[in-house]
Amino acid sequence: RGSGGLVIAPGSIRPDNGKQYLPDDDHPDLAAALAAGTIPVLPAFVQEIIKPSRPPAEPVVVTRQRGRRFECYAASALECVARELSAKAPDTGRNNTLNGSAYRMGRMVARGWITRSEVERVLFCAATNCGLVKDTDAEAVRATIASGLNAGMLQPHPDLKDRPREEE
């Protein structure tokens, strides 16, 4: 496994007590079995258990409310959350802010007020500005954005209320 993970295989030494995993004398080692062509076939039920699951399908745009007013509302909201995230210092909840911002914007993406790609692009730039991309990595940031957007798209933003026009 990756950084900070644990490898369990013959020859591995446990970090907690220094004991070593040893090969089973009743079984050939992997290199010998590979060379001899005697590696057993993995049973289908085990393949099914370890097979990676498909990522969930992205939510679809459920409702649309079109017009300049809605697009301006979403663009203004995106600018606001991006500005807030860009100003975040390390150890101030940048990742939580990113996730919450993506969720909030996902609700507007579901209404068709703004495109998903624009939200992804702007939030990634904001995460870069605050150093989150550098401190974690780009894929982790993209995954957080996707997670928040997908969750938000399941809860579309309510209709905007009409306000009476101000008289000139």
How many other C-beta atoms are found inside a 10 Å radius of the C-beta of residue 130?
20
Asked which of 10-24, 78-92, 125-139 is least confident by mean pLDDT, the reply is: 10-24
Q: Are 104 and 158 in contact (CB under 8 A)?
A: no
**Are 69 and 114 in contact, with CB atoms under 8 Å apart?**
no
- pTM for the model stands at 0.60
Task: Tell me which amino acid residue 93 is.
Answer: G
Determine the Cα angle at 85 with ends 79 and 135, to 5°.
Answer: 140
Cα–Cα distance, 61 to 43 (Å, whole number): 41
Q: Indicate if the pLDDT at residue 168 is higher than 70.
A: no
Q: Which has more pLDDT, 95 or 40?
A: 95
What confidence tens digit (pLDDT) does each residue in 19-47 have? 877 777 777 676 777 788 777 777 788 77
Give the integer Cα–Cα distance in Å for 155 and 112. Answer: 13
Structure tokens at 98: 């990113």
Q: Which of 63, 61, 58 is nearest to 150 (CA)?
A: 58
In this prediction, residue 152 carries a pLDDT of: 96
163 C-beta neighbours (distance < 10 Å), count: 7
